[in-house]
Amino acid sequence: DETMNYADAGTYCQSRGMALVSSAMRDSTMVKAILAFTEVKGHDYWVGADNLQDGAYNFLWNDGVSLPTDSDLWSPNEPSNPQSWQLCVQIWSKYNLLDDVGCGGARRVICEKELDD
C-alpha cells in the first residue's frame, strides 16, 4: 500500500523484475480484473502510460503502443490537459477509469510481469 510518484513507481516495478501495468490494460479479461481490484481498494493507481515524449495528445503505453484519447478506458472528459503538466496516467478512483495527471503526485502502484512464451 506504499505510494510514490510516477518515476519512482517505474523504478519500484523494475527493481522487482516487472513494469508498471500496461499490456494487461489492453486485454479485456485482465482489464476487468484490474479495475475490479482497484474499485474495491478505492485508491488511485499509476499505470504504465504517459505523454512525456512530446507533450502533445500522444499518450503511449510504456511498451510503445498508443493509448488513444478516445479509448473507453478514459474517465469522462479525460484526458483533460495532456499538453500542459498532466503527462502521466492513473486509474482514478472517482470513476475507476484512466485520468491524465501530473507525474509528481503520490499514488499506489500496479506492476505486471510478462510471461515467457
**pLDDT tens for residues 49-78?**
999 887 667 899 999 999 999 999 999 999
114 pLDDT tier (thresholds 50, 70, 90): confident
Contacts of 23 by beta carbon, 8 Å cutoff, 6+ apart: 61, 63, 65, 112, 114
pLDDT at 12: 98
Q: Measure the CA angle with vertex 41, ends 113 and 4; round to 5°.
A: 60
Instruction: Indicate the CATH number of 6-112 among 3.10.100.10, 3.40.50.620, 3.80.30.20, 3.50.40.10.
Output: 3.10.100.10
Q: How many CA atoms within 13 Å lie on the side-chain side of 40?
A: 5
Q: Above 90 in pLDDT, residue 82?
A: no
Of the chain, the percentage scoring pLDDT greater than 70 comes to 93
Q: Which residue ranges make up each domain of the chain?
A: 6-112
CA distance 78 to 34: 19
